[in-house]
């Protein structure tokens, strides 16, 4: 007996070892392959090499996550060009510090210096990227920002009332009719003092439709749907045949208010909510909806006055689902779906059930038929739940572990990220077959194909944005860099081309061909069009004016001096306003300015712009200011002095440049 058992035991052990090795071995070999191909094959290097002076083929706008910003990269090189300040102060650019941009960060809670930016999306016309604006949401204090793709500056920020955790945002419809906002953390609406345990049935999850002005891009909340208190997670618009619909994934249909990791993972299926916004528009036109009081900030940048303004809005149009029968349905989707992605044709709605081992593909045409046939499996809070079999196109079995997000190419394929198994999987939507898979390093969140949220993806590259980097780069202490990985998806197989570090944290991204934007990129702001109330158009207009204890310096900067650069008669306790205009009208000639002891950031002023900072002199003396941006050969000479006298001093207020009062004598 013993002799028989021994070989059997050995066989069993060996097979266990083999299977045990399986995944680990494959991931190791995957990594090795990546290293080897980088070292051995010149073709990969050539694919990402952008020669000095050459331009990248694509722009990638990658969210800065908990930095609150939006970073601009080039693809395929992965080079970082600019970090656009959006929801957080940026002392480098004076954003949120100078007097002009402070209102951009105003909310109903007061000024907030930080935000959590998540999902950028580029404006569209007829379902294709038009390169006018990029929208991005803020998760923590719900907001949506609009960023100009000519100035690459934040032009507008709209707060979303009656919401918390604005995660399922800022996705645009195919003619940029709407940008949506959702609610991941249901809250009492309106807010009130009540026991947390009474969450179920009482907390609400608002879904907001923000109307975009087609000319100027200005945002306004058209209506807000007062949904049950589920956690609305992600969203995508219908397109083509499903244009007019919007799809939001949700989890925690259990409506748990504590230990969600367990208590919100109990239901076998949660919902994707399908909203027919065109139908809701019709209802609203017929008088449906109630205007309710709500306080939220609307911050708009005025490009003529070079100044932002905050308007506190006071009401919002509320739609209750029972008021709009036939406009809202629940699509049952297995296991806490995260990503909710719609393919370029608009037919397939992919539910990435993050706790499921399968991907759910719903069919839009089957959904419409199910609605017509009233194929309902009951309802939840008065909203019909469609029968799963009636709407389901099919299921992709065992594609990987922890599916999060899906993007598409133009050849009928989908690419899905798997957080737990740390890989990107390519599969065919119609045949539901896995075609290829590639490990990522490590634990990928979103992925992006330029034009991914549109009818026309530019399916040459795929960028995966990873949550963990561990050993991929030189270590930098406990916090290591965030990262993205670039794949070539033009062939049958995913080919890993490049790792590149990003600012933290890269959630989603939006990409587009460079030629859609590059030629429209603004070079200067025309001085003639500058309507800033403290602007000067020439050195002759520069002056210093005292109004009580406020001193207003109307200052100019041009290579390579300030005017005036000698100021006397400022007193301890004064509030000194530096209103500084960059008189340059030449490309890439910004000037900066800062003053010793100023308790704020520098100003970094683009040609033709006017910006303001405040300095509170606290001590007598002669204090210098200087240009902070190496502007020219004489940059080191670009400086000036302010004499500060005692509060009771009689030193007269004077201001000069080269010993003359500006404007009184011209050099000939």
Partner 1 sequence: MRKDKILMIVGSLLMLALFSYPLWKITLVAPQYPEPLGLNIHIDKLTDGVQFNDVNNIDLLNHYIGMHHLPTEVNIKKGAVEAFPEFTYMPIIVGIMIVLGVVVGFLGRKKLYIAWLGLLAVLGTLGMYDFYAWLQKYGNELDPNAILKMTDPKTGEVMAYNPPIFGYKKLLNFEVYSYPSESAYFLIVAALLVAIAWYIAPKENVKL
Number of neighbours of residue 621 by Cβ within 10 angstroms: 14
Cα–Cα dist 244/422, whole Å: 35
In this chain, which of 175, 380, 538, 649 binds partner 1, going by CB under 8 A?
Answer: 538
Residue 635 beta carbon to partner 1: minimum distance, rounded to whole angstroms: 12
Judged by CB under 8 A, the stretch of 416-424, 484-492, 502-510, 520-528 that binds partner 1 is 520-528
Nearer to partner 1, 8 or 633 (CB): 633
Cα–Cα dist 101/611, whole Å: 9
Judged by CB under 8 A, the stretch of 120-128, 188-196, 238-246, 521-529 that binds partner 1 is 521-529
In this chain, which of 5, 477, 519, 587 binds partner 1, going by CB under 8 A?
Answer: 587
Cα–Cα dist 40/503, whole Å: 30
Residue 450 beta carbon to partner 1: minimum distance, rounded to whole angstroms: 27
Nearer to partner 1, 295 or 559 (CB): 559
Nearer to partner 1, 207 or 558 (CB): 558
Cα–Cα dist 15/21, whole Å: 10
Residue 196 touches partner 1, criterion: CB under 8 A: no
Nearer to partner 1, 527 or 551 (CB): 527
Residue 554 beta carbon to partner 1: minimum distance, rounded to whole angstroms: 17
Residue 365 touches partner 1, criterion: CB under 8 A: no
Cα–Cα dist 300/104, whole Å: 7
The DSSP-derived string for 121-157 is: EEEEETTEEEEEEEEEEETTTTEEEEEETTT-SEEEE
Nearer to partner 1, 547 or 666 (CB): 666
Nearer to partner 1, 252 or 530 (CB): 530
Cis, bond preceding 170 (omega within 30 deg of 0): yes
Burial of 428 (0-12, 13-18, 19+ CB in 10 A): middle
Cα–Cα dist 110/187, whole Å: 20
In this chain, which of 46, 268, 372, 666 binds partner 1, going by CB under 8 A?
Answer: 666
Nearer to partner 1, 317 or 524 (CB): 524
In this chain, which of 8, 14, 285, 668 binds partner 1, going by CB under 8 A?
Answer: 668
In this chain, which of 633, 648, 652, 664 binds partner 1, going by CB under 8 A?
Answer: 633
Q: Decide if 596 contacts 623 (C-beta within 8 A).
A: yes
Look at the alpha carbons of 217, 163, 417, 35 in this order and tell me if their dihedral is positive or negative.
Answer: positive
Nearer to partner 1, 430 or 586 (CB): 586
- Chain centroid to CA 138: 7
Cα–Cα dist 551/569, whole Å: 10
Residue 5 touches partner 1, criterion: CB under 8 A: no
In this chain, which of 198, 389, 586, 660 binds partner 1, going by CB under 8 A?
Answer: 586
**Tokens 């050969």 — which residue?**
633
Nearer to partner 1, 41 or 636 (CB): 636
Residues 6+ apart with CB under 8 A from 212: 123, 146, 172, 176, 177, 178, 179, 218, 219
In this chain, which of 207, 425, 558, 604 binds partner 1, going by CB under 8 A?
Answer: 558
Report how far apart, in Å, the C-alpha atoms of 644 and of each of 620, 650, 655 are. 5, 11, 13
In this chain, which of 16, 312, 596, 634 binds partner 1, going by CB under 8 A?
Answer: 634
Residue 612 beta carbon to partner 1: minimum distance, rounded to whole angstroms: 24
Site residues (CB under 8 A) for partner 1?
Answer: 523-524, 526, 538, 540, 558-559, 584-587, 633-634, 666-668
């Amino acid at each position: 007996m013993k002799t028989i058992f021994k070989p059997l035991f050995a066989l069993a052990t060996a097979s266990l070892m083999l299977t045990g090795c399986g995944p680990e071995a494959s991931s190791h070999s995957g990594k090795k392959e990546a290293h080897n191909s980088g070292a051995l094959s010149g073709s990969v290097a050539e694919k990402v090499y952008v020669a000095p002076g050459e331009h990248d083929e694509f722009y990638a706008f990658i969210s800065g996550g908990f930095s609150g910003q939006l970073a601009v990269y080039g693809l395929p090189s992965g080079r970082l060009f600019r970090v656009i300040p959006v929801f957080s102060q940026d002392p480098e650019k004076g954003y949120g510090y100078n007097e002009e941009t402070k209102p951009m960060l105003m909310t109903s809670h007061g000024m907030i210096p930080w935000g959590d930016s998540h999902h950028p999306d580029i404006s569209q016309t007829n379902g294709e990227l038009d390169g006018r604006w990029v929208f991005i949401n803020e998760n923590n204090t719900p907001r949506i920002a609009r960023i100009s793709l000519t100035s690459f500056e934040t032009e507008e920020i709209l707060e979303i009332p009656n919401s918390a955790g604005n995660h399922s945002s800022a996705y645009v419809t195919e003619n940029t009719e709407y940008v949506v906002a959702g609610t991941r953390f249901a809250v009492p609406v309106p807010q009130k003092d009540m026991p947390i345990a009474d969450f179920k049935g009482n907390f609400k999850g608002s879904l907001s439709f923000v109307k975009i002005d087609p000319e100027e891009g200005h945002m306004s909340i058209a209506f807000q749907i007062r949904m049950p208190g589920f956690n609305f997670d992600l969203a995508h618009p219908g397109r083509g045949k499903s244009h007019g619909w919007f799809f939001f994934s949700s989890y925690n249909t259990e409506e748990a208010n504590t230990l969600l990791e367990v208590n919100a993972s109990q239901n076998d299926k949660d919902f994707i909510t399908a909203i027919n916004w065109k139908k809701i528009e019709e209802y609203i036109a017929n008088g449906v909806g109630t205007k309710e009081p709500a306080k939220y900030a609307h911050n708009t940048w005025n490009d003529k006055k070079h100044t932002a303004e905050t308007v506190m809005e006071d009401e919002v149009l509320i739609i209750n689902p029972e008021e709009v029968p036939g406009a809202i349905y629940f699509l049952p989707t297995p296991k806490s779906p995260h990503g909710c992605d719609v393919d370029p044709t608009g037919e397939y709605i992919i539910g990435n059930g993050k706790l499921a081992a399968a991907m759910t593909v719903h069919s839009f045409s089957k959904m419409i038929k199910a609605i017509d046939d009233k194929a309902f499996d009951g309802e939840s809070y008065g909203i019909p739940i469609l029968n799963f079999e009636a709407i389901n196109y099919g299921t992709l079995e065992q594609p990987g572990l922890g599916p999060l997000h899906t993007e598409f190419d133009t050849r009928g394929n989908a690419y899905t990220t798997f957080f737990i198994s740390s890989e990107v999987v390519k599969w065919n939507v119609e045949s539901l077959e896995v075609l290829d898979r590639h490990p990522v390093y490590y634990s990928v969140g979103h992925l992006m194909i330029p034009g991914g949220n549109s009818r026309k993806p530019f399916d040459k590259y795929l960028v995966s944005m990873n949550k963990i980097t561990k050993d991929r780069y030189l270590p930098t202490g406990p916090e290591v860099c965030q990262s993205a990985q670039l794949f070539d998806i033009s062939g049958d197989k995913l080919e890993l081309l490049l790792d590149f570090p990003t600012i933290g944290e890269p959630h989603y991204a939006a990409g587009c061909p460079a030629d859609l934007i590059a030629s429209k990129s603004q070079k200067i702001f025309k001085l003639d069009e500058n309507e800033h109330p403290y602007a000067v158009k020439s050195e002759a207009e520069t002056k210093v004016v005292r109004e009580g204890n406020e001193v207003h310096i109307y200052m100019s900067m041009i290579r390579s001096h300030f005017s005036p650069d000698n100021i006397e008669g400022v007193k301890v306790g004064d509030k000194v306003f530096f209103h500084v205009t960059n008189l340059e009208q030449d490309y890439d000639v910004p000037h900066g300015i800062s003053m010793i002891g100023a308790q704020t950031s520098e100003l970094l002023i683009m040609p033709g712009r006017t910006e303001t900072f405040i300095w509170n002199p606290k001590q007598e003396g002669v204090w210098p200011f200087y240009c902070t941006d190496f502007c020219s050969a004489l940059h080191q000479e670009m400086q000036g002095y302010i004499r500060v006298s005692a509060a009771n001093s009689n030193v007269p207020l004077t201001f000069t440049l080269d010993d003359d009062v500006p404007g009184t004598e011209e050099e000939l």
